[in-house]
Amino acid sequence: MATGAVAALRNMKVAGNSKSLEEARARVFDFFKLACRSLPSVMDIYNLDDVVTRSQLRSAIASQIRKNSHVTNTKVIDMLLFKGMEELGNIVEHHKQRHHIIGQYVLGKDGILQDLSPKDEGSSDFLKNFYSGNYF
Amino acid sequence: MGLGLLASRLIRPQKTAARTLLLRSIVTKPELQSPEPATAPQPDPTPDLPPRTPLAGARVHFPNPEDAIEVFVDGYPVKIPKGMTVLQACEVAGVDIPRFCYHSRLSIAGNCRMCLVEVEKSPKPVASCAMPALPGMKIKTDTPVAKKAREGVMEFLLMNHPLDCPICDQGGECDLQDQSMAFGSDRGRFTEVKRSVVDKNLGPLVKTVMTRCIQCTRCVRFATEVAGVQDLGMLGRGSGEEIGTYVEKLMTSELSGNVIDICPVGALTSKPFAFKARNWELKGTETIDVTDAVGSNIRIDSRGPEVMRITPRLNEDINEEWISDKTRFCYDGLKRQRLNDPMIRSSDGRFKIVSWHDVLAVVAEIALQVKPEEIVGIAGKLSDAESMMALKDFINKMGSNNVWCEGNGPSPNADLRSGYIMNSGISGLENADVFLLVGTEVIQLTFLICLGWNAWIIAVMSFTFCYFFAYELVCCFYDVLNLFFAFMFCTPFCTFSLPLCLIFCLMKCQPRVEAAMVNARIRKTVRGSNAKVAYIGPPADFNYDCEHLGTGPETLTEIAEGRHPFCSTISNAKNPAIIVGAGLFERSDKDAVFSAVETIAKNGNVVRPDWNGFNVLLLNAAQAAALDLGLVPESSQSIESAKFVYLMGADDVDLEKLPNDAFVVYQGHHGDRGVYRANVILPASAFSEKEGTYENTEGCTQQTLPAVPTVGDARDDWKIIRALSEVAGVRLPYDTVGAVRSRIKTVAPNLLSVDEREPATFWASLKPEVTQKMSSAPFDPAIKNFYMTDSITRASKIMAQCSALLLKK
């Protein structure tokens, strides 16, 4: 399975510029499907079965994409797609190590601290910054 | 062939001198072969000389305007006061003269000859550092004669200097390296074997590679004149000349690290810094020292997240350009015993790492459970003004008023600023002619006397002029062991001149502890103007002549009541200065002692409109700011009834009387004494990692700047308290350091005028009468171990070595 995903990614061409927002949108969905299809091999390569499920990783990818949902410039979307494709290629070809994947996609940005409980919703920016670090 | 290449060939000068020699002869630069004195052919000074700025901000002070004389430096006329040397005149004119032995704060030796300049109508080049400037002198610093003289001197200096710059710690900041590049010849003529010199052991701080020494004698002069220890001296003559201790002895001065800075070569370097870093890799941060109340100006040199060394910064009013060994070498304490994560003590007595979120929730919950008057906050010795302000605001908002700074005693006087700062100012002490030191040990010196007597010995010894194989050897032996060695060593060869002066040797040996820089200032005054010094307190050892009046309050009473012979000395003095040690703050009869001192001040006319000689010498960096901010406990018994104690870096508080069920929060940067009793640890940043305001003992506000990032998950002190206040539901109204400062402005506006000394306005005459009785207990030494006074220095390995080696009892 792993070889198939790698081969599929190898055969992906860098697409030309998207002509319209619809085309860019379609490409994003294609990219998401490709990423989801490579998830089984990724879990296999990095031994992720005991830390995360496939659906969790899927939603991690989705949230990464949703983070840029406000972008409407097709050129920017193409650039982001290119970066995503590169990242996916690196992951699938085992250019990363297990802790990279766990740190970036399993725990997430503020996963390690997990200081923000619902209780803190009313707290000031100062306190939120204080929990995340000394320099703000 | 490109056009550019052709052009450059045309531009290049044609070789005029035909090569007559096949072998290259070793000569100096050809233009220096026949230097002609620049007297005759020089035309009159050109009028269109650009105006020059004096070097390094050199200021000329004319004590007597009619004594001004005019000299010409490279044709540029400068006005200088009479008595200045040629070198100083050149500095005023903006010309930097190369030098090795000359140092503006030391006496003039004139032995390196590097500062040779040409003076019109003088047959030879003159050593500018030793030659007084005369009216109308025409000094030429840039002529072939001067250049050749420097080149020759440089060649002689390099003759015996090893070629080990690649492994030398001075490399990159070496005067010899720089000046040989600028003024030296490009080749040497020395083909014989270089001499070598045995290295001397000067103790755990100064590393010696004596082969590199160029005999400038700066270190000898520094030790004798500034540090006041006759440990170093010059032995031998000619190529056998070397710097050393006369007998095998460590350098026992609390200022010994400064010889590292003044050594122009790599002969004396820092032992802890040896082979650790190169100076061009280091990032310098100009900041303030907090290990004592002087607030010496320092530069922290760091590489990445690590403090590599601490060097002094020039501040004429505070530390001139010296710092004490504690300041210089405490930095390795910043890397050891650090608290890097919030921790809670679990039921088995061990600390468990938790998140900031959880720890603040726990602390806030417990703080809200206890009664308001059972809450106590204590600021530590190293606290900055911002965090103390936040602590006071937080404790007050919790409903308690029991907040103070350690070292200020149970009932500090925070109302009259003149009662707790050094009113004369540190540099102002130079104007005093009589000093009375009460219960303070600015002073004291370690001497390695191991004799088992309990009284103090008066040893009679003198400046002994020894003629040792026709070498002049000026020695001054200070203690009995040395005396013994001196006899063993000198008797066969020398003639003695018998006692000229009395020197006291003291059995209770301690280093000059409380403020080495203030002590250096007093010593400078004693040397410069023969000021008289007397002290009341435990027997101590001074590096200048000093009279011991007594050990306790009864002597003070005698002087206050005019029964003591020293009274007349005070009243006859022009500018008498009384220095009271802050160790007295801890005494229960503090008010009575201070009122006795104030009586002395009143009778002796110590406080006048033009001179305020009443000084308190504080011990810790935080004390002055704490009193300015009003960190005064409501009751002196608050510890006994406390249920919630917030220690903000306070390690030396006596927690013996604290109830066992009290909850102790320790916020600080080192796992020191305070942590033993703590239930919760909140890691904070050290002075090298934060921006903080400190006020020194003379009332001068200064700020530290962060040199390195914080360790682990630590936070700045005031931020922790601000966050805790929000979790506890009593949110403090500031989010930035600027906002904290504007809060400080409403309490103590002087803490915002940085680098300015704010003198006290009112004098203590407004004080109410004191009814307290003085106890007869003698004054105790305030500091047991000079090298280890706070959490940083107690964590330092170098300071531990120093106290083991230099404080031998």
Single-letter amino acid code for the residue at B805: L
Does B402 have pLDDT greater than 70? yes
Partner-chain residue, chosen from A120, A126, A135, that has the shortest CB–CB distance to B722: A126
Q: Does the beta-carbon distance from A134 to B716 stay under 8 Å?
A: yes
Give B355's contacts in chain A (Cβ within 8 Å): 113-115, 131
What pLDDT digit, counting tens, does each position of B707-748 carry? 999 999 999 999 999 999 999 999 999 999 999 999 999 999
B323-332, B514-523, B690-699: segment of lowest average pLDDT: B514-523
Region B499-520 average pLDDT = 49
Is the CB of residue A126 less than 8 Å away from at least one CB of chain B?
yes
Instruction: Inform me whether the pLDDT recorded for A7 exceeds 80.
Output: no
In this prediction, residues B673-686 reach a mean pLDDT of 94
Flag if A117 and B355 touch (Cβ within 8 Å). no
CB atoms within 10 A of CB B420: 26
Strands B306-312 and B297-303: antiparallel
CB-CB under 8 Å, B719 with A130: yes
pLDDT band, residue B504 (cuts 50/70/90): very low
> What pLDDT is recorded for position B487?
39
For A127, which of B709, B716, B726 is closest by C-beta distance? Answer: B726
Is residue B10 scored above 50 in pLDDT?
Answer: no
Mutate which of A115, A126, A136 to test chain B, going by most B C-beta atoms within 10 A? A126
Distance from CA of B349 to the nearest CA of A (A): 25
Lowest mean pLDDT among B50-59, B368-377, B535-544, B567-576: B50-59
In degrees, to the nearest 5, what angle opens at C-alpha B722 toward C-alphas B749 and B379? Answer: 65
Percent of chain B with pLDDT over 70: 83
Q: Where are the alpha helices (DSSP H) in B314-384?
A: 325-329, 356-369
How high is the pLDDT of residue B538? 83
The reported pLDDT for the residue numbered B448 is: 25
Do B685 and A124 make contact, defined as CB atoms within 8 angstroms? Answer: no
Residue B475 contacts residue B486 (beta carbons within 8 Å): yes
The answer on pLDDT for B674 being more than 50 is: yes
DSSP B427-457: GGGGG-SEEEEES--S-----------SSPE
**Does the beta carbon of A20 lie under 8 angstroms from any beta carbon of chain B?**
no
d(CA B640, CA B660): 10
CA atoms in the 13 A half-sphere facing the CB of A104: 11
- In angstroms, the Cα distances linking B395 to B427, B626, B653 are 37, 14, 18
Mean pLDDT of all residues belonging to chain B: 82
Residue B56 has pLDDT above 70, yes or no: no
> What's the rounded Cα separation, in Å, for the pair B589 and A125?
49
ipTM of this complex prediction, to 2 decimal places: 0.77
Whether residue A134 and residue B715 make contact (CB cut-off 8 A), yes or no, is yes
Residue B726: which of A114, A115, A123 has the nearest Cβ? Answer: A123
CA distance B356 to chain A (A): 6
Beta strands B663-668; B680-683: pairing state: parallel
Judge contact between B54 and B73, C-beta under 8 A. no
Element (H, E) at A91: helix A74-92
Instruction: Determine, for residues A113 and B727 on separate chains, whether the beta-carbon distance falls below 8 Å.
Output: no
Instruction: Answer whether B722 sits within 8 Å of A125, measured CB to CB.
Output: no
Q: Which residue of A has its CA nearest to B724?
A: A127
Q: Across the interface, do A130 and B715 touch by the CB < 8 Å criterion?
A: yes
pLDDT at B350 over 70: yes
Q: Do A115 and B731 touch (CB under 8 A)?
A: no
Looking at A3-17, B1-15, B177-191, B233-247, which range is the least confident one?
Answer: B1-15
- Judged against a pLDDT cut of 50, whether residue B509 lies above it is answered with no
Which H helix or E strand runs over B660?
none
Q: How confident is the model at residue B339 (pLDDT cuts 50, 70, 90)?
A: very high
Taking contacts as CB-CB distances below 8 angstroms, the residues of chain B near A124 are 726, 731, 735
Best mutation target among A113, A117, A125, A127 (most B Cβ atoms within 10 Å) is A127
Domains and their CATH numbers in chain B: 29-40+53-159 (3.10.20.740), 165-335 (3.30.70.20), 343-414+622-756 (3.40.50.740), 422-456+506-617 (3.40.228.10)
Identify the closest residue of chain A to B360 by CA–CA distance. Answer: A131
User: Per mean pLDDT, which range of B189-198, B494-503, B622-631 is the poorest?
Assistant: B494-503
C-alpha distances in angstroms, B654 versus B638, B669, B794? 12, 19, 17
Across the interface, whether the CB atoms of A134 and B685 are under 8 A apart is answered yes
Which residues in chain A touch residue B716, judged by CB atoms under 8 angstroms apart? 134
* Pairs of CB atoms within 8 A across A/B: 37
Cβ of A126 within 8 Å of Cβ of B716? The answer is no
Nearest CA in chain B to A129: B723
Q: What's the pLDDT score for residue B637?
A: 80
Q: Does the beta-carbon distance from B714 to A134 stay under 8 Å?
A: yes
| Across B782-791, average pLDDT | 87
Nearest CA in chain B to A123: B726
Q: Does any CB of chain B come closer than 8 Å to the CB of residue A124?
A: yes
Query: With bands split at pLDDT 50, 70 and 90, how would you rate the model's confidence at B28?
Result: low
A111 in contact with B at a CB cutoff of 8 Å?
no
Give the lowest-confidence range in A83-97, A117-131, B176-190.
A117-131
Beta carbons within 10 angstroms of residue A112's beta carbon: 10
Note whether A130 contacts B: Cβ–Cβ < 8 A: yes
Asked if residue A120 has pLDDT above 70, the reply is no
pLDDT over 50 (residue B464)? no
Position with higher pLDDT, A73 vs B441: A73
Answer whether B701's CB lies under 8 Å from B754's CB. yes
Determine contact: A44 vs chain B, CB below 8 A: no
- Residue A18 reports pLDDT greater than 90: no
Distance CA B563, CA B568 (A): 10
Give the pLDDT score at A111: 52
Q: In the beta sheet, which residues pair with residue B644?
A: B375, B663
- Measured at the CA of B417, the angle between CA B416 and CA B421, to 5 degrees, comes to 135
Give chain B positions within 8 Å (CB) of A118. none
Q: Is the dihedral of CA B605, B608, B612, B614 positive or negative?
A: positive
B287 contacts B298 by C-beta, under 8 angstroms: yes
One-letter amino acid for residue B392 of the chain: K
pLDDT of residue A88: 94
The top-scoring range by mean pLDDT among B229-243, B264-278, B626-640, B760-774 is B264-278
- Test the B interface: residue of A116, A129, A134 with most B CBs within 10 Å: A134
Which of B356, B357, B735 is opposite residue A126, by nearest beta carbon?
A: B735
Contact A125 B735 (CB under 8 A): yes
Q: Residue A109 has what pLDDT?
A: 59
* Confidence band of B510 (pLDDT split at 50, 70, 90): very low
Of B172, B170, B256, B255, nearest in space to B213 by CA: B170
Q: Where residue B468 falls among pLDDT bands split at 50, 70, 90?
A: very low
Statement: residue B390 has pLDDT above 60: yes
B726–A120: do the CB atoms touch at under 8 Å? no
Decide: B371 and B548 in contact? Cβ < 8 Å: no
A121 touches chain B (CB under 8 A): no
- Token duo for residue B127: 């050593």
Q: What does pLDDT average to over chain A?
A: 84
Nearby residues of B238 by Cβ (< 8 Å), 6 or more positions away: none
Distance, in Å, from the CA atom of B473 to the CA atom of B470, rounded to the nearest integer, reads: 9
Residues of B in contact with A114 (CB under 8 A): 355
Q: Is the pLDDT of residue B278 over 60?
A: yes
B8 against B120, higher pLDDT: B120
CA A80 and chain centroid, separation:
11
Of the candidates B198, B111, B196, B129, the one whose C-alpha atom is nearest the C-alpha of residue B159 is B196
